[in-house]
Structure formats: C-alpha cells, structure tokens
Amino acid sequence: MFKNPTPQQIAVFVALYITTFTLAAWSLLEMARYRNMITWASALAILGVLAFTVAYLTTIFYLRKYIYRKIKVIYKTIHKQKLSPQEKNRSINVRANIIDEVEKQVSEWAEQQHEEIERYKAWAEYRRNFVGDISHELKTPIFNIQGYLHTLLDGAMNDTSVNMKFLSKAAKNLERLHIIVEDLEAISRLESGELILELQAFDIKKLCEEVFEELEIKAAQRNITLEFKEGASQNYRVLADRESIRQVLANLVNNSIKYGMENGRTRVGFYDMDKNILIEVADNGIGIPKKHLDHVFDRFYRVDKSRSREAGGSGLGLSIVKHIIEAHKQTINVRSTPNLGSTFGFTLQKA
C-alpha cells in the first residue's frame, strides 16, 4: 500500500484489487456450477453481492486512509496544539460531509490569521507611536535641565542674579520628569493587571468634597469656583477602590481648573442609574474640538500642546483615568463644545 498515494494511484489499486477478486470469485463459482452445486442465476447473484461488498469496503478503506492523511496535514497547519494520540488514530466518518467541514475550518482559520495580523500591525503601530511620544515628552525636560546645568557650570553659578533662577527651572523640569515616570509606571501596572482594587463602600460626595479641599488653592489662583450641581445634595454610596477613584476625581477636577475660563466654575453632579451612579465633572472652559474627542484618553494626546505643557502634567492623566474606570468594569465618556466647556462622566456601581 502506498504511504501517500494520489487519487489516480488509489483508483488503479482499487480497480486491480476488485478485478483480481472478481476473476477469482468467478472461477470458484464456475467450478461450483460445473459440479452442479449452484445454478447460473445463483452464481451470478453471489458474484454481484461479493463484488459490490468488496468494491465498497475496499474503496471506503482507501478513501479513509487517503482523506485522513490529507486532512491531518491540514490540521497540523491550522491547529496550534499537537494532536493527541486519540485524534491521530481516529477514523473518518464517511457519512459526514468531510470536505465541507474541513473547508469551513480552514476558512475560519484564515480569517483568524487575518485578524491576528491586523491586530499585530495595530499594536506595532501603537508601540512605534508610543516610543516616539515617550522620546518626545522626555526629551524636552531633559534638554532644558541639560541647558540650565551646563550654563551654571560654565560660570553662571557665581552669578547671583541667575543661579537660583536656573536651579529652580532645572528642579521644575526634574519634577516634570518624575511625574511622567510615575504615570508611566501607573499605566504599566494597570495594563498588566498588577493593580489590585480594594473595593469598599464609601460616600462619593464626601470624596468629592475632599478633592475640592485639596485643589481649592489652585482653583483660587484662577478664581474658579468648585461646587456641586443642583440636585446633587443627596449622598450616594458606591462600591469601588476609594484611592483610585480619588485619583480619577482629582485628575478631572484639576483638568477643569487648568483648562477652564478664569472666573469660571467647575461643577460635579450625581445621577441615579438604577444599579450604577453617574458622576459628571463639568466646566465652562475652552472646550475640546469635535475632531479631538475620540483621542482625549490616548497616551500623551494633547488638544492644545503649548498650553498643556505650560500647565504641566505628563499627558497621561486621562489615559490613567480611563484605565482605572475600566478596571472597575465601568465606562467613562466626554462631551464638549469649544468655548462652552467640557463634561467628563463615569459610572460606578452602587454599594
């Protein structure tokens, strides 16, 4: 028997086998008929039954071997795991539409491969952009620190009119580097699943009041009022990681102060959504153009690059906020109109 026969070889082998068997059977039946053991009609009937049975069994036997060998090669290609001994030795169900089933599996495999390739391409592009963004963000403060320190070393250290000024600016840029590195570390923990949420029930309004107290000096510098919306007098208890949500609220309120109009206001509202509470942080600031709304949660994405850098920050705050809310299996969104303001809203589970 051929190990890897072609259909033509199988056909020739089956034909020879059946022909040989038929001639042998016919000779035996002729001998039996010659001795008057059976009649002509009986001999013909017996020969027909024997020939059909042998032809059927022989064809099925070789088709099983042939089809399974070919299918096994396909399965080795499309399946990532090794075939078990049971799968290797299993037989083909000749009553099933084997070719259609294999064609379906190959088609599904090809589609999965295409999706994986597209996903890899997207991740590769994302990594390239991310590395470029990090390089760009780190280069500015490093270049500034380098410039200030070299100027001091070149003699400005002894100039009392500039030495403290340059040291102060170098320290400010170091602080910015520190913030970027800390935020990158936070995002890394969030994406890798290392952040373990300590869920507890707490009053979300009370937490907002604490954030207002932390940022009241910064808000006063721009004469921005921090307040609750009408109807937000009720205290809602939510189930979440309190410190993580503090970080979310602090980031959103801080952004509303940075990008809000002077003499403006930041308002926080709460809305009952059956099993969840919707928390909204709204300002009446510069707003975000529509084309930027889909990207505000991307790493290092800045709507107004010059103003963003002047205001400080790493450009990772909103990305961290999104990761924290998604870690709670909740959602966050933004709606905004230029020169009217922005509203960031996220949901938390009721306690």
Domain ranges of the chain: 7-96, 132-192, 199-350
When pLDDT is cut at 50, 70 and 90, the band that residue 211 belongs to is: very high
Which two tokens mark 245?
């949500």
For 115-132, the DSSP string reads HHHHHHHHHHHHHHHHHH
- Residue 128 pLDDT exceeds 50: yes
Higher pLDDT, 17 or 305: 17
Q: How far apart are CA 347 and CA 200, in angstroms?
A: 16
Backbone angles phi, psi at 46, to 5 degrees: -60, -45
Q: Is 23 helix (H, G, I), strand (E, B) or coil?
A: helix
Better pLDDT: 55 or 289: 289
**What mean pLDDT is predicted for residues 325-346?**
89
Higher pLDDT pick, 108 / 2: 108
Query: Is residue 274 pLDDT above 90, yes or no?
Result: no
pLDDT digits (tens, 9 = 90+) for 65-91: 666 666 666 766 666 555 555 555 555
Give residue 349's pLDDT.
93
133-176 tens-digit pLDDT:
667 667 777 888 888 888 888 887 877 777 888 888 888 888 87
Q: Is residue 129's pLDDT more than 90?
A: no
- Of the chain, the percentage scoring pLDDT greater than 90 comes to 16
Give Cα 86 distance to the centre of its chain: 35
Could you count the other beta carbons within 10 Å of the beta carbon of residue 38?
A: 14
Instruction: Give the whole-number percent of the chain exceeding pLDDT 70.
Output: 73
> Does 130 have pLDDT greater than 70?
no
Q: What confidence score (pLDDT) does residue 162 get?
A: 79
CA-based torsion, 29, 35, 37, 42: positive or negative = positive
Q: Kindly state the helix (H) or strand (E) to which residue 249 belongs, with its residue range.
A: helix 242-258
Q: Give the pLDDT confidence score for residue 34 in this predicted structure.
A: 67
The pLDDT of residue 84: 57
Secondary structure class of 305 (helix, strand, coil) = helix
pLDDT of residue 82: 55
Write down the pTM of the prediction.
Answer: 0.57
Q: Is 55 exposed, middle or buried (0-12, 13-18, 19+ CB in 10 A)?
A: middle
CATH placement of domain 199-350: 3.30.565.10
Two tokens at 343? Answer: 């509203």
Res 85: pLDDT: 58
* Mean per-residue pLDDT, 262-266: 89
Pairing of strands 225-228, 265-273: parallel
CA–CA distance, 280 with 324 (Å, rounded to integer): 16
Q: Tokens standing for 34?
A: 């010659």
Mean pLDDT of the region 20-34:
73
User: Could you write out the DSSP letters of every residue in 42-111?
Assistant: HHHHHHHHHHHHHHHHHHHHHHHHHHHHHHHHHHHHH-SSPPPHHHHHPPP-TTS-HHHHHHHHHHHHHH
Answer for the pair 183, 314: CB distance below 8 angstroms, yes or no.
Answer: yes
| Higher-confidence position of 90 and 100 | 100
What is the pLDDT, as a whole number, of residue 2?
Answer: 53
Per-residue pLDDT averaged across 90-104, rounded? 60
Per-residue pLDDT band for 307 (boundaries 50, 70, 90) equals very low
132-192 belongs to which CATH class?
Answer: mainly alpha
Name, of 2-6, 18-22, 72-76, 225-229, the range with top average pLDDT.
225-229
C-beta separation of 218 from 257 below 8 A:
yes
Q: Regarding predicted confidence, which is higher, 221 or 23?
A: 221
Q: Which of 1-10, 109-118, 146-155, 238-247: highest mean pLDDT?
A: 238-247
Mean pLDDT across the chain, nearest whole number?
A: 78
| Mean predicted confidence (pLDDT) in 29-51 | 70
